[in-house]
Amino acid sequence: MDPDRWSDLYDVRDFEVPVLLEAPVVHGFKRGSKELGIPTANLDMEQLGMKGEQFEPGIYFGWSVLHDKIYQAVVSVGWNPFYKNEIKTIEAYLMSELDDFYGETIKILICGYLRQEANFSSLEDLISCIHSDINLTKDKLLQDKHISYIDMSKWPNV
């Protein structure tokens, strides 16, 4: 994979203060694991309320907590232009092999912004860019500013 292939899409920024989202995991469109090979946890937008609705569309990086375990996460907020969604979603890819956890509450600490949503000419291009998002997220979360959040006691309250 060419690491510079998608570089023009990125406008990486760290947040001054991370944003914490917490909601149950709901069923999404079932594309993450089946079509993309990248399963995601879809947050309940109704539970998030205005916090979810007001969150700017884009691709973000951060940490997630599920069953008291912490995971690195890439978070997509918006309408997924490739699929032309009509419903805004917030979904996170947790960097680990996990069984289904629908209905479980997940916490996501969003530490920064990677890029805007984008449309792609093929499914292969979309998957390639998501893998770039994953690699960039891993790099960002290893930085001193973000690695400290591996300690959940440093997370802000909801």
Alpha helices in 7-65 (DSSP H): 45-48, 50-54
The residue from 91, 104, 117, 124 that is catalytic is 91
Residues facing residue 106 across a β-bridge? 23
Q: How far apart are CA 68 and CA 158, in angstroms?
A: 16
Tell me which residue of 2, 20, 15, 3 sits closest to 143, measured CA to CA.
15
User: Hunting for tokens 């309408």 — which residue is that?
Assistant: 79
DSSP character for 95? S
- Based on the residue annotation, tell me whether 91 is a catalytic residue of this protein: yes
| Strand 10-26, strand 58-66: pairing | unpaired
**Catalytic residue numbers, as ranges:** 91
